[in-house]
Amino acid sequence: MRTAPTILHLDMDAFFASVEQASKPSLRGKAVVVGGLGPRGVVATASYEARVLGVHSAMPMGQARRLAPNAAYLVPRFGLYKAISDQVMELLRALSPLVEPLSLDEAFVDLEAGGVAWDEASARLAGVRLRADIRAVTGLTGSVGLAASKMLAKIASEQAKPDGLVVIQPGTERAMLAPMPVRTLPGVGPATGDHLRRAGITTVEDIVEAGEDELVRLLGKAHGHGLYAMALARDDRPVTAEREAKSVSVEDTYDVDIHDRLRVGLEVQRLADRCVRRLRGAGLSGRTIVLKVRRFDFSTLTRSETLRGPTDDPGVIREAAARLLDSVDTTGGVRLLGVGVTGLADYTQEDLFAQAAGARVSTERAVEEHAMAPAEEQPVFAGRRWPAGHDVRHAEFGHGWVQGSGLGRVTVRFETPGSEPGRVRTFRTDDPDLEPADPLPLVLPGQDKGRGPKDETGASRLRPVAQYTDADG
């Protein structure tokens, strides 16, 4: 382990919900929940105001509505989130060539590798400046943890939430960890935590006192050794700039079980095409096609087929997915479908016979698949759909966002990130003066929200967010 806290962990605060609050003045300081709004939707992110009411990520949306009936419930705008994430990651890469993103809103940074920190004082200064730059560029807040290892830096950022900075000084790790619950350590989930609790182990110090042999007996060799090392604050994992993808997959959960076998088949073909687009976007191909089916009784079946070589051909992957579906009994209904590709490579092995077959399948299904295409594959507002939280523009009233829609009506609040809370108006869903709009920048040019990287002219080096739409993400 290092002798200075030069590994930084950044975790943006309630990222999706914070973006929505920053873009919608009327929601600032109020409970906001972002996620799937259907009967089977789950919470992606909840604002801190909603968390006080018991709402948390991965919670069923129905339960969230019972806990926080007056919260604002919004459909995610992943294109905008990705654009803002890119801005944050650009700031991190200005600090060091070793940046390890974990998600859109979370990353490790090796400050020492960038030459910006070599001791506690310089590391703390880098963290303070980073938080100020993020605020200046995005208008959002992030929590920073600094420590001599990745595990401890992540624990520090959790302690710093929200909108704070915590430094764990080398040499103090054992004393700091000792009274913490076992769930604090990475890899200790609810099941492992309950197993340890039944053995009388509830704190990190209890793990140390139990000893490595007892941990191995309780949890097995690999997990036991690893957990004991973490309890002793031992973590030599490096920050790696590139994390190799092991699979590419997509899946959809349906509000109403699908019983029609033909519809199930069409959904699988659509998912296969989406998976191919992700593969090609990443410059990858794969050998093994995986089908995931969750049935009406929550039983989940997985089927896979390994090809002779890696491919990114849509016809080949569609046909393989269809063959896998033939082996699955969907009687009773399907609530989730997924298609994935594993055994990834950065080249393809052509299969002319399979491609020819795939081309025939593609031609036969073209009209049907277009009719079945979901919102994310067509413009978000196709068919005059108005997802809650998404941006619109009215010919007379200007820019706003959808508060809700139904019964042929859509309610819009007209406001922008830099305005006061706006007025609410209701229109017909087919009103010709109302149209979808791109998100506006959270921070307007010249707006002073703290420090930000500038070029020779004093202008920000980072691009604005306005050009990104939800279709991009």
Residues belonging to the binding site are 11, 105
Yes or no: say if 337 and 270 are a contact pair by the CB < 8 Å rule. Answer: no
Helices (H), 75-149: 78-95, 120-138
Question: Amino acid identity of 209?
Answer: E
Q: Which of 20, 23, 78 is nearest to 49 (CA)?
A: 20
**Buried-state track 238-256, b at ≥16 Cβ within 10 A, e below 16:** ebeeeeeeeebebebebee
Alpha-carbon gap, residue 102 to 154, rounded angstroms = 11
Q: Which residues pair with 252 in a beta bridge?
A: 337
Could you check whether the bond before residue 162 is cis, i.e. omega within 30 degrees of 0?
yes
> For strand 398-406 and strand 300-311, is the pairing parallel, antiparallel, or unpaired?
unpaired
Residue with tokens 């070793």: 98
Q: Which residues are catalytic?
A: 106
Q: Which residues are annotated as a binding site for Mg(2+)?
A: 11, 105
> For strand 391-394 and strand 334-345, is the pairing parallel, antiparallel, or unpaired?
unpaired
Alpha-carbon gap, residue 301 to 323, rounded angstroms = 14
Residue with tokens 């990475």: 186
CA-CA-CA-CA dihedral for 399, 401, 406, 410, to nearest 10: -20
How many C-beta atoms lie closer than 10 Å to residue 205's C-beta? 17
Q: Which of 438, 338, 381 is nearest to 79 (CA)?
A: 438
Yes or no: say if 358 and 365 are a contact pair by the CB < 8 Å rule. Answer: no
Alpha-carbon gap, residue 276 to 250, rounded angstroms = 10
Q: Which of 310, 308, 317 is nearest to 284 (CA)?
A: 310
φ and ψ of 346, to 5 deg: -105, 25
Distances (CA, A) of 53 to 32, 66, 70, 83: 11, 10, 11, 30
